[in-house]
Structure formats: structure tokens, C-alpha cells
Amino acid sequence: MNLIGISINHRTSPIELRESVTLSQEEQIEFISQLKSEVLTEGFVISTCNRTEIFGVPKNNEITQKSIVQNLKKFKIVENLKDEHIESYSSSNALSHISKVAAGIDSLIVGDSQILSQCKDAYRLSVNEDFSNTVTRKIFDLAARVGKRAITESQISQGAVSVSYAAIQVIEKIFSNLDKKEALIIGAGETSELAAIHLNSRNIGKITITNRTSEKAGQLAKKVSGSSIDFDEFKEHLHKFDIIISATSATDYLVTYDDIKRTISKRKGTPIFIMDIAIPRDIDPKVKNIDNVFYNDLDSLNIIVDQNLKKRKHEIPKVEKIIEEEVDSFHNWHNTQGIVPAIKSLRSFFETIEIDELNKIKNKVSNEDYLKLENMAKRLMGRILHNPTIKLRELAESGNNIETTNQYTKVIKDLFNLDNIKQNEKNN
């Protein structure tokens, strides 16, 4: 199959280089237009923070992966992009690689499910820019199927692989109905925002934000449909919260052992989950010794993240098996592509004969008899063409002997003169 492509990814290149070749959506549109005019007849571009992938069908046999790289270098003006930073793929390798990308097993975080939607976006862009044809469509069908099967048939995307999600996993082992729980987020920076968004996505009953700058707290509260409280007063309200997450840049403990001791006593033993994701820490780690207080910091939550990543890596062989099956089925489809026009011509040739002969007797028999003859002729054609059609398809789908398939196709074309249908019609 005539498919070539290049990949610059987290395995081959440092982040600075990956950043320098990343293409924004506007850039992708412009670059696709360049690829179309110079190297590829159809294809697609995937560009994320961890990878830039360019694949497609070359315009002619002179065009190689190097041509794509040259185009990229010219477009992004990257001087330090060297051969060792680029992976080149063609034919089956290219298909397997795209499938691995879509399934998330080539991602920096194994099992990343976001990449599948990024692949879908790339396909949409390719369609919109008139850069997609049969091969591209089929490749994306394959990628989407692999991605979907990987999620449903393996545990490649299972388990939390970020600290915030790991915290949710622990929270769900303490509380059952999160929609009845209240959470307090101390701090309104990027980390706090991420934590608040994760909590909000799990339908936590109420989220309250507190921050030294109250405007920032208000802004974040708005984003997660929560409320904010004054930073000077938050300690007085600690007992109202089931979950406390802290991520400020304070240099001393904001919440002390005594604060939590008082809080838990007011809560009559109702458990409280505390997650301190600040460095240096905001909450005295000694609070973990208090009954019904579940304290976690970055180190403890990373234990879960590591466990889940390990488990995901164990699932890679399962996903590779899925990829193998789907790539085989893609080849079956691709192998039939040469033979489909021959089968179509053969059927059309016989149908022409059928219609011609039926027309000859149309006025010589009654309507009733004509219908019977018409049915008989259709059945006859169907039976005559059934075996050759099946045999040709089987030969093509097996993919074992392309030469034999081509020979069969040629013989059929020659015997029935299928390349000159018009002359055929005249002779008949």
C-alpha cells in the first residue's frame, strides 16, 4: 500500500523540539495546502504537545518521507530537526503506528484517551480541507475502531494517572454519595483550578474556594459553579467540609494539627479527606494521626498513579493484538480494491447482455411470460456470476498471493474484453 508518514514524538525528541514543530489549527490548514500542492494526494496531520504526525499517499514514487520532512522544515523553519528526531513509516508499519497512536499505547501517559479525539479532529480537518479520500477515510475508520476496541476490550484507559484523579479515587473509597459532600479548595492557582474542575466533574455537592486574593477565588468559584469565602475566615468553617484540598505557594503551614483536631471534634467523627498538593506543604502532615482524618500529599497520591500506569502497561499486548486484527482486516479491504472494478465490469457486461436479449423478445411474448423470462434471466446471471465473484473476492481478501489475483483479473478482463465495453456491445 502506498502510504508514507513521519512522526516526531516524545520518544524521539525533547520538549523544546516538539514545541518548535507543533502546528496550530491555522498552521495545519496552511501546511495541508502546501502538502497537497507538493507531496501528497491525500492524508492528514496530527499535532499535539507530545507529537506531530504527518501521513498520506505520495503524489508519485519519487516522493519519500524525506520530502515531507523538508516541507515541514521549510514551513516551521526548524534548523535543529535531525534524522534521529524523526520516525519514518510506510505501508503496514504506518498503519500499525497510527493505530498505536489512536489506542493511546504510544502516548507519554499510556492509555491516554484524549489522543483518540485529537485523531478525530485531524480527520475532520483533513475532510474540511479536501485532503481526505478513500485511503484516509479508511485509515481513520481503522484508528477509530482500534481506539474504541482498546477502551472496551482492555483496561488500557482504566485507573487514575494524574494526582487529581488519584485523589478522586481515594475520595470515592471514603464517601459514597459525592453529590452530598462539600469541598474546600485553598488557593486559586493552576493546580487548584485543575483539582476544582476534577471535583466538579464528579458532581461534588458544593465547592468553595478561598484564596488570599479574593477576586481570584471568586473567578475560580464562578468557573466551577461554586462559592468563595474570605481567606481570613476559612479556618472557622473547616468543619463544614468533607474534602479539603490545598495548593497555595505559602511557605508555612496554613492549617495546623490543632485546627484539624478542633474540626474533627466538631464533626463528631465524620471522616474528612485532606489533599495537600502544595510544595512546600500547606497542611501539617501530623494531621494524618488524627482519627477519621485521611491525609494525602503528592507522594502518597503518586503511589496510585504509578500503580495504575504499571497496570496499563500490562494491557499493551492486548491492544497490540487488537491492532494486528484490525490492520489485517484493513489489508483485506485494500487487497480487494484492485479487483472491485473488474467484478463490477464483469457484472455490468453480463447485465447488458441480459437486458439486450430480453429486449429482443419483449414484443414476441405476453407480459406474463416476459416477467417469467426476466426473472429466469436474472437468476441465470446470478448463478453464473456467483462463483467467479466469490472466488475473486476470496483470493483478494486472503492477501496471500497478489500475483495470482492479478492474473485472474487479467484473464477475466481479456476473455470478456472488459476494457473495451463499447466495442463489446457493438460486436454483440
Binding site for another protein (CB under 8 A): 155, 170, 172-177, 267-271, 288, 291-292, 294, 296, 300, 303-304, 307
In terms of CB distance, is 21 or 160 closer to another protein? 160
Q: Give the span between the Cα atoms of 141 and 146, in whole angstroms.
A: 9
Question: Which strands make up the sheet holding 4-9, listed edge to edge?
Answer: 40-47, 51-58, 4-9, 87-90
E strands, 48-114, are 51-58, 87-90
How many other CB atoms are there within 10 angstroms of residue 337's CB atom?
A: 13
Least Å from the CB of residue 174 to another protein: 5
Least gap, CB of 31 to another protein (angstroms):
44
As measured in angstroms, the least distance from the Cβ of 158 to another protein is 8
Question: Residue 128 has which C-alpha cell?
Answer: 474540511
256 versus 307: smaller Cβ distance to another protein: 307
> Please, which residue, 120 or 267, has the CB nearer to another protein?
267
Contact (Cβ atoms closer than 8 angstroms) between residue 211 and residue 231: yes
- What single string gives the DSSP state of each residue in 68-87? HHHHHHHHHT-SS--GGG-E
Nearer to another protein, 307 or 389 (CB): 307
Residues 6 and 54 sit within 8 Å (Cβ to Cβ): yes
Q: How far is the CB of 410 from another protein (least distance, A)?
A: 53
Closer residue to another protein, CB minimum distance, 267 or 347: 267
Three state DSSP letters for 263-302: HHHHCCCCCEEEEECCCCCCECHHHHHCCCEEEEEHHHHH
**Measured distance CA(164)–CA(160) in Å, rounded:** 8
Answer yes or no: are the C-beta atoms of 21 and 8 closer than 8 Å: yes
Which residues are tagged catalytic?
A: 49
**Closest to another protein by CB, 28 or 300:** 300
State the Cα–Cα distance between residues 397 and 336, nearest whole angstrom: 6
Nearest-approach distance from CB 100 to another protein, in angstroms: 24
Helix H or strand E segment including 325: helix 316-336
- For residue 226, the minimal CB distance to another protein (Å) is 22
User: Distance between alpha carbon 28 and the CA centroid of its chain, in Å?
Assistant: 18
Q: What is the rounded distance in angstroms from the CA atom of residue 312 to the CA atom of residue 51?
A: 20
Tell me the sheet residues that pair with 52. Answer: 8, 47
C-beta of 78 vs 174, nearer to another protein: 174
CB of 108 to another protein, least distance (A): 23
